[in-house]
Structure 1
Amino acid sequence: MRASDRVYAVLREEILDGALPPGTTLTEVEQSTRLGYSRTPVREALGRLTADGLVEAASARALVVTDVSGDDISALYELREALEVSAARLAAKRRDQRVFADLHDRFAHAALLVDGGDTGLQRYYDLVAELDAAIDAATGNAYLTQALRSVRLHSARVRRSAQRNPERLRQAASEHLLICQAIRDGDVALAGHATHVHLSLSRANALAASTHSEKTVS
């Protein structure tokens, strides 16, 4: 892996996790010293983060971690619904049934992971990532998959900011279970509807978490 790829991966994870919260100023010199890399890979990594929309210019020499407002969340979920409902429906048509049967079996116990502390929570998110990858592969549509990769980057940031809601996470595990079942069974209508319901509930939770955060800050 190139040095710039390593720097990018570290900074992206810190932004998604909230270790670098919105408003944090990032400069080449500071990050080069902190991460132990020369300025060139740091500059390249910051350029990629800018393209991702995770940072933006604060001045000629500094970048700042972008915020995610309620309006941003609403816009993001509008895009997610357009893409993910279509992906789920296509996956139900074209899937490898064995893949989604296995995922269904694992999601049947996913609620237990949510209550398993940080390790269990990470295992749950890894399982969700496996489902996303399986749906991407099943669609057989490279353009759709590329668009989904971009939107999921920002979705991960919103999701992690609202992740400390065990009740919502257990509910989401049940929603993913139904999505797996619908795709496994080739039920196109149910796959689309289950994905729509999941996104609607996730959006409501994310907006509620965002509102609470704004009130806490103010």
Structure 2
Amino acid sequence: MRASDKAYAALREDIIEWRLAPGTVLAEVEQSERLGVSRTPVREALSRLSAEGLTTAAGGRGVVVTDISLEDIDELFELRETLEGKAAALAAERGEHGIFEHLHAELLDAPAMLNDGDPSRRDYYALVGRLDDAIDEAISNSYLAQAMRSLRVHLVRVRRLAADDAGRLHAAAAEHAAIAEAIASGKPKLAEAATILHLYRSLSHLKATHTPH
């Protein structure tokens, strides 16, 4: 792996996982020492992160981690409803139903993953990621898939805001299972409706329990 790719991957994960909070100044010298690479790869990594909207130039302060406000979350979910609702419907029309049947079964068992004592919920988020990947593959639309991948960079960040809420995570697992079941059944309208319901409940929860940073 190139040094710039290593720096980019490490910084991106730290931002997404909130180890680098909004407003954190990312000084090239400090980050190069922390990551064990020279300043040039760090500079390249910061440029890529800025292009994704995860960092931004802040005048004399240098590069900082971007904030996520409730207004940002509203805008993200507006776009998410449009893209993911359509994608779920297309997956139900075009996807291999057996793949989603297996995912549905795994999602029904998701509460066990959420109760296994792992505070990171790594296995659960990996399963949700596989559902996302399966939908991307099923829709057979590279432009839509790329748009959703770009959006998910920010959505993963938002999702972590609710990571400590066990009740919401269990409800979300059931909602993901319903989406997978609708796609497996080849019902586009139901898949779209299940997706929109999940997004509505996720947004309502975030707005009710979190304040802007």
**TM-score tier (shorter):** over 0.9
Alignment TM-score, normalising by the size of structure 2 = 0.96
State the partner residue of 2:204.
Answer: 204
Query: Deviation at 1:38?
Result: 0.6
State the partner residue of 2:109.
Answer: 109
State the partner residue of 2:48.
Answer: 48
Distance in 1, matches of 2:71 and 2:182, equals 31
Counterpart residue identity of residue 130, structure 1: R
Deviations 1:178-198 (A, max 9, x none): 111100010111100000000
Distance in 1, matches of 2:38 and 2:61, equals 16
State the partner residue of 2:148.
Answer: 148
Contiguous gaps of at least 5 residues in structure 2: none
Query: Deviation at 1:4?
Result: 0.7
Is the 8 Å Cα contact of residues 25 and 61 (structure 2) preserved in structure 1?
no
Query: Deviation at 1:118?
Result: 2.3
Contiguous gaps of at least 5 residues in structure 1: none
5 Å-filtered alignment, 1:47-86, equals 47-59=47-59, 62-86=62-86
| Percent identity of equivalent pairs | 52
State the partner residue of 1:167.
Answer: 167
Is the 8 Å Cα contact of residues 85 and 196 (structure 1) preserved in structure 2?
yes
Is the 8 Å Cα contact of residues 114 and 120 (structure 1) preserved in structure 2?
no
Query: Deviation at 1:58?
Result: 1.5
98-107 vs 201-210, which moves further? 201-210
Deviations 1:34-71 (A, max 9, x none): 11101111111000010011111013571011110000
Deviations 1:71-121 (A, max 9, x none): 000000000000000000000000111111110110110112112222671
Distance in 2, matches of 1:77 and 1:168, equals 17
State the partner residue of 2:157.
Answer: 157
Counterpart residue identity of residue 169, structure 2: L
Residues 120 and 56 of structure 1: CA distance in aligned 2, closer, same or farther (over 3 Å): closer
Distance in 1, matches of 2:24 and 2:34, equals 14
Q: Which runs of 4+ in 1 moved over 4 A?
A: none
Instruction: Give the total of aligned pairs.
Output: 213
Secondary structure of residue in 2 paired with 1:25:
coil
Distance in 1, matches of 2:5 and 2:207, equals 32
Counterpart residue identity of residue 23, structure 2: G
Query: Deviation at 1:207?
Result: 1.9
Distance in 1, matches of 2:209 and 2:143, equals 32
Counterpart residue identity of residue 189, structure 1: K
Secondary structure of residue in 2 paired with 1:26:
coil
State the partner residue of 2:182.
Answer: 182
Secondary structure of residue in 2 paired with 1:56:
strand
Is the 8 Å Cα contact of residues 114 and 121 (structure 1) preserved in structure 2?
yes
Distance in 2, matches of 1:61 and 1:8, equals 20
Secondary structure of residue in 1 paired with 2:56:
strand
Distance in 1, matches of 2:102 and 2:8, equals 33
Query: Deviation at 1:171?
Result: 0.4
Secondary structure of residue in 2 paired with 1:118:
coil
Alignment TM-score, normalising by the size of structure 1 = 0.94
